[in-house]
């Protein structure tokens, strides 16, 4: 049973060749590019959603921060679509892999920090010491702020990994329990099935919320540095 629980997180291979790159590139097929002045319904809905999200997310940014619009919109679309596709039965979710999420978090976080040091060096260094700190506490607070800075990409990656992995594990566990209980007690199986349906609805919400949280945090780190 333990082996069955974690087999869905093993990176899939086909004839010995890992097919994870294909799975990562797959969601891009689901977003057709707008090619006309007035497009079809799907593309129009996609454009409307992207416009809504980008307006909401980029309204706080300066001119420099708004150059990251393409990156932030691509990020939220990629993570959201990958998470949602992972809710299909027997599919592999790349965002359950910590390596993948660290691979997204570290370059983006480092990019925001490097942007801050390049264009606003004094302001970026000033972030290491909060305003109004008592003199004796300065060394300790600088250390604490440095640690909190370096923990940001790790927290970003682990938050996404843990949320998606935990959700998938719970669905797997409760689904298995429902199947087992059908032969033992129908009423208990029905209650467990109701819990499973509610959990699946929650996982749909978590999939979108986690994409939004990841992108929002990257956007906030960028805002602090621009």
Partner 1 sequence: MEVTFRVIGRAGWGGLSRGFCAEMLQSLVKNVWIPVKVYCTRVYQEIWVGTGLMGFTVYKIRTADKRRKALKALSLAPAHGHR
Residues found near partner 1 in the complex (CB under 8 A): 67-68, 70-71, 102-103, 106-112, 114-115, 118
Least distance (Å) from partner 1 to the CB of residue 168?
25
Nearer to partner 1, 156 or 206 (CB): 156
3-state secondary structure of 18: strand
Least distance (Å) from partner 1 to the CB of residue 181?
43
Distance, in Å, from the CA atom of 207 to the CA atom of 201, rounded to the nearest integer, reads 10
Least distance (Å) from partner 1 to the CB of residue 92?
21
Nearer to partner 1, 74 or 91 (CB): 74
Least distance (Å) from partner 1 to the CB of residue 74?
10
The secondary structure of 178-224 as a DSSP string is HHHHHTT-HHHHHHHHHHHHHHHHHHHHHHHHHHHHHHHHHHHHHHH
Distance, in Å, from the CA atom of 69 to the CA atom of 74, rounded to the nearest integer, reads 8
Burial group, residue 182, by CB count within 10 angstroms (0-12, 13-18, 19+) = middle
Distance, in Å, from the CA atom of 88 to the CA atom of 102, rounded to the nearest integer, reads 24
Nearer to partner 1, 68 or 214 (CB): 68
Nearer to partner 1, 108 or 206 (CB): 108
Nearer to partner 1, 79 or 108 (CB): 108
Least distance (Å) from partner 1 to the CB of residue 140?
27
Instruction: For the chain, give percent helix, strand, coil, nearest 5.
Output: 80, 0, 20
């Amino acid at each position: 049973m333990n082996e069955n629980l974690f087999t869905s997180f093993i990176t899939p291979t086909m004839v010995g060749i890992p097919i994870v790159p294909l799975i990562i590139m797959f969601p891009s097929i689901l977003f057709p590019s707008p090619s006309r002045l007035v497009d079809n319904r799907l593309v129009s809905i996609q454009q409307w959603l992207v416009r809504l999200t980008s307006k909401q997310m980029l309204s706080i940014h300066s001119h420099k921060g708004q150059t990251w619009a393409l990156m932030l919109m691509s990020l939220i679309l990629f993570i959201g679509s990958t998470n949602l596709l992972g809710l299909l039965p027997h599919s592999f979710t790349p965002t359950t892999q910590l390596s993948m999420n660290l691979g997204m978090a570290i370059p983006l976080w480092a990019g925001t920090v490097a942007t801050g040091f390049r264009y606003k060096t004094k302001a970026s260094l000033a972030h290491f010491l909060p305003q109004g700190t008592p003199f004796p506490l300065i060394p300790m607070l600088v250390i604490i702020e440095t640690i909190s800075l370096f923990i940001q990409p790790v927290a970003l990656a682990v938050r996404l990994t843990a949320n998606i992995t935990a959700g998938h594990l719970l669905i797997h566990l409760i689904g298995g329990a429902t199947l087992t209980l059908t032969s033992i007690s129908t009423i208990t199986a029905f209650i467990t099935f109701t819990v499973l349906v509610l959990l699946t609805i929650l996982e749909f919400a978590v999939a979108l919320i986690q994409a939004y949280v990841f992108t929002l945090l990257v956007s906030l780190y960028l805002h602090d540095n621009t």
